[in-house]
Structure 1
Amino acid sequence: MSSSLSQDASKGARVRAMLARREAVAVPGTHDALGAMLIEAAGFEAVYMSGYCVAASRGKPDIGLISGSEMIAQAAQIVAAVNLPVIADADTGYGDVSNIAETVRALERAGVAAMHLEDQMSPKRCGAMSGKALVDDAEMAGRLRAALLARRSPDFLVIGRTDAVALHGVSEAIRRLKAMAELGVDAVMVPSLSSLDECRAVAEAVNIPVIHTVAETIRPLQPQRELAQTGLGMSLYPITLIQGIVGWQRTLLERLKEEGSTAAMVPDMAPLAQITEMLGASHYAAFERQVVKGA
């Protein structure tokens, strides 16, 4: 295995170890490299590339309008920006089983540590939106088998996701998650759980790690320390950053428009020099000096 592939496999192993702790490890979501750098600087253990956020960054709703090629390219940029493992939203795989296989291989080549596939019909919808419909067990099994067969390294994690809670309840979600686990996926993911009891019930019912999603403005919030006691493997915060970005930027723009000044907001702004340093400007400057010195 090449050095690059070994490093990628190591990141997958890190995600596997996080899940195995069953501590509902908190992983924030982002749409770009800068967000990933902020997540890393804050001390989190992994980065989640959220399909909702990627779509929003292009001025689109999360209704299947973003192509697999766009998601793969975005994932590659995020991977290149941080040393953390990156978990990617792969929606429904962007086509039939052959397309799913190509998506898996491309994400793995890009250095992504893990990806999830969901059981929605195409075109999919954001899990918090109406208009969702699920495929049957056979079609979802085909998607996941394609992903498992296509990966090169067992440390590239394949995660099965169901949106059944919002449509059919927790019992149906558990049934679907168990079916996914039997196929050999590394973990399962379930949005729309609304209580600690539901989180605990799902974690206890499924014999592989369960990933939960937290949506601040949609469902009741549970403290991370309490989620950690439910047996969940991971808690994704897919829309936390984008909700914060949109809310704060809107307030900033309203202040500028109404008051003609951003002075009241300056204490909450990151200094430009701090951002420039985080982006690695000093590293590039040092490299340029080294080149000149060696000329």
Structure 2
Amino acid sequence: MLYATTSPAEKRRLLRERLASGELLRMPGAFNPLSARLIERKGFDGVYISGAVLAADLGLPDIGLTTLTEVAGRGAQIARMTELPAIIDADTGFGEPMNVARTIQTLEDAGIAGAHIEDQVNPKRCGHLDGKSVVDESTALGRIRAAVDARRDDNFLVMARTDIRAIDGLDAAIDRAKALVDAGADAIFPEAMRTLEEFAAVRAAVDVPILANMTEFGKSELFSVSQLESVGINIVIWPVSLLRIAMGASGRALDELTAQGHLREKLDEMQHRADLYDLIDYEQYSRFDNDIYTFTVER
């Protein structure tokens, strides 16, 4: 009720423990706190919080318009609702190295288990669009060093995302990944890999966990969990999938409402009231209220 019972520190410790095992962790993207609870109920390993989704939630494109306050606030709302660890997209860190340091500490305070910092030029753009630019290696490494130095919980996962594959090719991505690990990155997020062989090449180049981004309508083929597991991937995210499905269904429902004037034919597509109440622990809130407020006012 109200908040998850597992502390942020324990979530981070458990995430580190599972990553050390070498297994693949599945982390769908939550678009709000309730969807994070559903991800947990369905047996997944963690929750991913996408910068693109946070921007879209505000009606904005994913081009670096969101602020640290907005991202951390929404991240805290999502993380509090689940016993699972939450990894969040921190874009370019919201500024230069000192800003990156503040970003990491703010996300720690928000209850997040880990964050990735990317090497795009600020303001960034969606990792699967053309026309991206990346910073020089010195700037990229400075961001990661600042993030590592700033964290107060050693179990907070500092991930380095590199977008250089789409600009300078796979060899450049491998070289950048190695340098980012040397700078202290706990894990590598190689964006917009095109083939399983490319993921395998990055896996062979570094000895830290690798994240695969299985976003729809992007540069990467939509590989299955078993395919990614076969090349040694440790985390797979579907960052925008649930939002896309929810918005697609909402659009079709509105079309039905316009055409028919009612939604009677859509009832089987809706989450039932009983399922919603179960997901938000309605009964537990009611029981708490009845147990606490048992007094009567004498007249």
Aligned equivalent of 1:45: 45
**Regions of 4+ moved over 4 Å:** none
Aligned equivalent of 1:212: 212
User: Measured at CA, do residues 180 and 259 of structure 1 come closer, stay the same or move farther in structure 2, by a change above 3 Å?
Assistant: same
2:80 is paired with a residue of what secondary structure? helix
On the 8 A contact 2:30/2:78 being kept in 1, the answer is no
On the 8 A contact 1:55/1:61 being kept in 2, the answer is yes
Aligned equivalent of 1:10: 10
Percent of paired sites with the same residue: 36
Aligned equivalent of 1:135: 135
Which shifted more, 260-269 or 56-65? 260-269
Q: Highest relative contact order (Cα 8 Å, sep 6+), 1 or 2?
A: 1
Superposition map of 1:93-172 within 5 A: 93-172=93-172
Superposition map of 1:79-98 within 5 A: 79-98=79-98
Are 2:251 and 1:246 equivalent residues in the alignment?
Answer: no
Aligned equivalent of 1:187: 187
Structure 1 unmatched runs, 5+: none
Structure 2 CA distance, aligned partners of 1:18 and 1:181? 19
1:208-240 Cα shifts (integer Å, max 9, x gaps): 111110012323221211211111111111111
Structure 1 CA distance, aligned partners of 2:205 and 2:41? 35
Aligned equivalent of 2:233: 232
1:167-210 Cα shifts (integer Å, max 9, x gaps): 22221111111100111211111121122222212111112111
Aligned equivalent of 2:280: 279
Amino acid at match of 1:177: A
User: Measured at CA, do residues 289 and 170 of structure 1 come closer, stay the same or move farther in structure 2, by a change above 3 Å?
Assistant: same
Amino acid at match of 1:33: P
Which shifted more, 204-213 or 255-264? 255-264
1:11-51 Cα shifts (integer Å, max 9, x gaps): 11222233333333221112321121111111111101100
1:39-68 Cα shifts (integer Å, max 9, x gaps): 111111110110000100111110011001
Structure 1 CA distance, aligned partners of 2:62 and 2:277? 31
**How far apart are residue 294 of structure 1 and its match?**
6.8
1:98-141 Cα shifts (integer Å, max 9, x gaps): 11111111111111111110000110111122331100111011
Amino acid at match of 1:214: M
On the 8 A contact 2:29/2:50 being kept in 1, the answer is yes
Structure 2 unmatched runs, 5+: none
| Alignment root-mean-square deviation, CA | 1.7
On the 8 A contact 2:86/2:112 being kept in 1, the answer is yes
Structure 1 CA distance, aligned partners of 2:17 and 2:142? 27
Amino acid at match of 1:254: D
